[in-house]
Structure 1
């Protein structure tokens, strides 16, 4: 609806400007030598055609611009931006904590980004709420990944997640009992994260696990 009103106002503006230009040109161009050979009706028709073609070109440019921006807006609105915490410990083996989704799949603790709140804070808060872990979280993500968020029975959205390392110092009771926070070795976590997911999203989780393994093993 917003784009409709923008288009309407723009076309009205173009129309007003075009009418003014048309009238000005019509009065001034009559004195040019080329128009002295034409009668007034032919001159009017010629300039009217010129005006229509100009207006059509401007309208086409406007419609194209609005369509492109509308497509970009729809694409942006169809992706949910989230932040996830890669909760790990080394005692002595590297392990990562995963939690259950409402659909019983394993995932990283995560939450939707909130305006006015840093993404790493979102990841840290959700790590505490979903997994019951506290610790030092890095302020810069080490990677990102996409996953599919099932919202309704036959509906869902792509989510783009930034993921932050959180070195766990303390484990407390989590607020969401159904999450079942569990420690996994990296190899076990990769298998668990791939279960029940399409190939593309399964590869996304595998990539994140492998990137984390390389970084934390050095």
Structure 2
């Protein structure tokens, strides 16, 4: 039961951080999705058609950056003795990104390119989290950066519950797991929207610290 609770806490934390980072970069970094990188294709196409942004092509950079991050995550995992090492490096990247944002702002050199660099670094961090989810799938209730699959499973479970009630305990458990991921991501998005609007990219410090704490907690496990 303790292990199950621990998985629930880790899932909630990772989904909140993914939703938070995704929304912070979207709000404070020229509508760039850091977790749902394929969403950037839509934003890119929209901006090209509208002719509203000469830097729209930067949205496409999120895809190769994300791929390199996942590959890097796989390499790190091969050498790491602790499966949470990927989350540690994600935390470091987010922490450095947040600090850099504040430093650049304080020095009044926070240009568009500095903003894009911070955003793409965040994309790299989300790539590491994605790699963690794939390599250590039993550590969470499901994908923590992309909710489409979780929502689909929750809808299937809900359909079964409406039809058969709570007779099948596995369906009930599965539905509860999906709710953890979906609600966690939603809470993260809401907090990220507020933080991104009020404080900008510097608020990436918060999820960075949270990731490092998560790693330290699981360091000896």
With the shorter chain as reference, the TM-score category is under 0.3
Larger helix share, 1 or 2: 2
TM-score, normalised relative to structure 2: 0.25
Is the strand fraction higher in 1 or 2?
1
Q: Scaled by the length of structure 1, what TM-score is found?
A: 0.25
For the pair shown, the structure with the greater C-alpha radius of gyration is 1
Which structure has more RCO (C-alpha within 8 Å, separation ≥ 6)? 2
